[in-house]
Amino acid sequence: MSEQPLRGSAEGRPVIGVLGGMGPAATAHFQTRLVELTDAAQDADHPTVVTWSDPGVPDRVAALRGAGPSPVPMLRAGLGVLAAAGAQVLAVPCNTVHPFLPEALGGFDQLHLVDMIEAAAEEVAAAGWSTVAVLATAATLEHGMYSRALAPRSVRSHTPGPRTQPAVLELIAAVKAGTPVRGLAGEYRRLVAELAETGCDGVLVACSEISAVAAASAGEGTALSLPSVDAVDALARAALRAAGFSPEQ
């Protein structure tokens, strides 16, 4: 998907629209990273951003498994709000919802979706890894969105085994339940250490809740057992480029 700058906004740059709420903490973390990754010296150097954070979007895991209502109607409602507010570059900081976006975007021609899956896969490929461990919801792994994005880039995706994946899901649930992410950083480092024993070259943080924990861990300055690519950061950088900004790496 193209990341060429689009036209729009008061300064001649497009407005970034964030379709969030899936979950609220993940959306707040994405907005923080969007600010931190912007190469800016003053307020005016940042992009114009419109955010719609609706925590009532039906469960994406259940929907992907065919066990719950589709999130598409509520996604379309949120897209309508963003479009009416003038958004043009669309960022959706939720991995699991991405398979529903093509249907939800029908008729919203002004919104240019920055694909989180593709952006993260590009950064993994650029890292030169042959095998990457994917930390994600069970539905994201079952859907295979990352394995399909990585395979053409000659990268094999590794799914955490039965000892590790339950702990990954517990970490996601803890963030959604409001547990402070700093208190979860040690558990994240333990998971990465387990994955280092599987022969992977790196870790792909493919869940926005885990991204918030990974950022807290990085803030503590403790080295991880494996290098990582964060899908939230990849999305933020790609959205900034699409809006005509030069993101920090």
CB 52 within 8 A of CB 16: no
List 135, 206, 207, 240, catalytic entry: 207
H/E stretch holding 185 reads helix 185-196
User: Given CA atoms 79, 95, 214, 155 in this order, what sign does their dihedral have?
Assistant: negative
Measured in degrees and rounded to the nearest 5, phi and psi for residue 149 equal -75, -35
Residue 79 sits at φ, ψ, to 5 deg, of -60, -35
Find the length of the chain: 249
Concerning whether 94 is annotated as a catalytic residue, the answer is yes
Closest Cα to residue 93, out of 62, 133, 51? 51
Side-chain-facing half-sphere of 181: CA atoms under 13 Å: 20
Q: Coil, helix or strand for 13?
A: coil
Active site residue 207: yes
Active-site option among 94, 150, 181, 215? 94
- As a whole number of angstroms, the distance between CA 22 and CA 67 comes to 18
Q: Give the residue numbers annotated as catalytic, written as ranges.
A: 94, 207
